[in-house]
Amino acid sequence: MILPRFHLLTVLALSLLSTFAADDAPIQAQRMEFYLRDQVEAKRIIIYLTPDKIRVEQPEDKFAFIYDVATKTYTGLELRDAHYWSFSWPKVQAHVQSTKRYQRRLQDLNIEGFASYDITRPDPTPTLPESPQFIWRTSEGKKKISGYECQLWLGDNRGGKDLEAWCVEQRVGGLKENLDRIKEVNEPIALVAVRPVMPPEFFVAVDSLYKAQVTPVEIAWGGTKNARDDDKVRLTLTSIQTKEVSPTLFTVPKTYLPTKLLALEGIAEEDKEKK
């Protein structure tokens, strides 16, 4: 059967519309939001997670980045001037492991942050131990944080940082699994782009307290032993939920222009020479 020209065009148009609709169809994502504050500033950290992508937003810093799980590629979005950059973590590792030239370059560019990481290892690990020997004790302190009834736990760490953790007496569904993924992403972005997602102390507290069947909703550290609350760094989970989001959340806006990270200029030049 031969369709009239009008009907054929109609079929093609509907087919294209259905394709575009499928590409723009909302997807399920885990959304977490944190609030980080210290003596100087306060800012939000918003994280979206799907099985194959992660997006982290730092609104007050006018910055976001997208992580592709399959390729281990980081794409940074400089919201202030509509530019983007990207780097492949396996490629950065390969270059650094092949020559000390790039190790020294990254050390020079990230003197403060580099000391916490060993980029020459297959999987970089923070100097702060992942399973420190905390001596935890509960306190009489209780308060409601982000809708959770929390109790105060005090962690004494000999030779390390003492932590104050407000915990809910249960495991918050999805939080530990999500933070395990963020911890892996946190280390390369902190090293190469000097844009950490959040301080490593939070991961340490979650890993340690999760074994006790409790979940920290807020942690505080720093200052002197009897420091006031205002003198401490404080990170608070404000929400965790599953919601539908647009897939464009995990793509670079079409109006953004490419730029380069200073730390990767040498690697980019070497790649061009090989071609």
- Give the mean pLDDT of the chain: 77
Quick one: pLDDT at residue 155?
Answer: 85
Q: Given a cut of 70, is residue 100 above it in pLDDT?
A: no
Is residue 199, in this structure, part of any structural domain at all? yes
Structural domain containing residue 48 = 26-274
Lowest mean pLDDT among 57-66, 104-113, 176-185, 201-210: 104-113
What's the mean pLDDT in 95-106? 59
Is residue 7, in this structure, part of any structural domain at all? no
Is residue 227, in this structure, part of any structural domain at all? yes
Give the HSE-up count for residue 245: Cα atoms under 13 Å, Cβ half-sphere. Answer: 19
Contact 38, 233 (CB under 8 A): yes
Which token pair is 145? 């944080």
Could you tell me which residue, 16 or 100, shows the higher pLDDT? Answer: 100
Q: In this structure, are strands 42-49 and 148-156 parallel, antiparallel, or unpaired? A: unpaired
Query: What's the number of domains the chain is made of?
Result: 1
Is residue 17, in this structure, part of any structural domain at all? no
Contact 166, 145 (CB under 8 A): yes
Measured CA angle at 24 (ends 11, 84), to 5 deg: 130
Give the HSE-up count for residue 2: Cα atoms under 13 Å, Cβ half-sphere. Answer: 2
pTM (2 decimals)? 0.77
Which token pair is 137? 């004790």
Q: What is the pLDDT of residues 138-166, one digit of tens each?
A: 888 899 999 999 999 998 876 666 789 99
Q: What is the pLDDT of residues 122-140, one digit of tens each?
A: 444 433 334 455 788 888 8
Q: What is the pLDDT of residues 222-250, one digit of tens each?
A: 765 555 566 788 999 999 999 999 999 99
Is residue 32, in this structure, part of any structural domain at all? yes
What's the mean pLDDT in 97-116? 49
Is residue 172, in this structure, part of any structural domain at all? yes
